[in-house]
Amino acid sequence: MLRFRRKTVLAMLYAIISDIHGNLEALTRTLEEIDGAGVDKIICLGDIVGYGANPNECVETVQDRCELSLVGNHDSAACGTTEPTSFNPMARDAVLWTRRMLTEENTQYLQNLPSSSEVENFLIVHGAISHPDRYVHTPYDAYNELKLLEEKDTCFFGHTHVMGYFVLKEEKVDNFTDLELYIEPDAKYFINPGSVGQPRDRNPKASFLFFDGENKHVKFVRLDYDIPNAQRKILDAGLDQRLATRLGYGI
């Protein structure tokens, strides 16, 4: 597990990405945008593979470009750490296809990723602090997680494929989807960059965020990318056509 040393590495500009799901077109476009922003470190919250047609390329790109990646539930199933027994049939078929496609090296890379980590003064998880596969959709879900933050004030999470954030202030949790926020000292934050490769907030644009550790500033970014090409590859691979269709709607 990689941990930054607090004294030497403070106040960096991070790009935080999540839920790429084998979508190389979306990942490539996202990294182009990140490269234009002078980012110090890229962090991935997991689900590099599953659903999309380019699992190996996405694993190799994350390995090459990201300072740290977590393992997601699809990554765990694709590399054989878990069996996809709780997946719906469409997701299960896709993850078993991914398992067959992954090279030995890429399978091993996924097997060795951590499920959560601390970076500088914030926490990162795939789904939730209480369990890596738990979905945080509602203020109630978020309240329980935010109470687990203790001395930290911010946690970044993925898994739902829905960008936005929850704020705990004076025992009340609110949910926001505006594109910018500043971390305030008297509140705690649970922040989701959304999904690079399979957004589900009815906006098909790739989603990620920048986090400026010095100014405590978070900026969400949505990007057009080559959806038709990603869809064509899914169909050419013989994967379920609904996996291609949903990319066009952001569902």
Spatial strand order in the sheet of 180-182: 68-69, 41-44, 13-17, 206-212, 217-223, 180-182
Dihedral angle over CA of 152, 153, 158, 160, nearest 10: 130
The smaller minimum CB distance to Zn ion, of residues 142 and 196, is found at: 196
The smaller minimum CB distance to Zn ion, of residues 167 and 243, is found at: 243
Identify which of 129, 185, 119 has the alpha carbon closest to the alpha carbon of residue 157: 129
Part in contact with Zn ion (CB under 5 A); list of ranges 19-27, 52-60, 91-99, 133-141: 19-27
Token output for 188 = 């705690």
Part in contact with Zn ion (CB under 5 A); list of ranges 14-22, 85-93, 162-170, 216-224: 14-22
CB of 21 to Zn ion, least distance (A): 6
The smaller minimum CB distance to Zn ion, of residues 47 and 153, is found at: 47
CB of 92 to Zn ion, least distance (A): 14
Residues 6+ apart with CB under 8 A from 133: 73, 86, 126, 127, 159
Part in contact with Zn ion (CB under 5 A); list of ranges 13-21, 28-36, 75-83, 149-157: 13-21
Candidate list 14, 15, 16, 19; residue touching Zn ion; CB under 5 A: 19
Part in contact with Zn ion (CB under 5 A); list of ranges 1-9, 27-35, 40-48, 123-131: 40-48
C-alpha torsion sign, points 214, 180, 58, 156? positive
For Zn ion, what does the binding mask look like between residues 43 and 82, x meaning CB under 5 A? Answer: ----x-----------------------------------
The smaller minimum CB distance to Zn ion, of residues 84 and 213, is found at: 84
CB of 217 to Zn ion, least distance (A): 26
Binding site for Zn ion (CB under 5 A): 19, 47
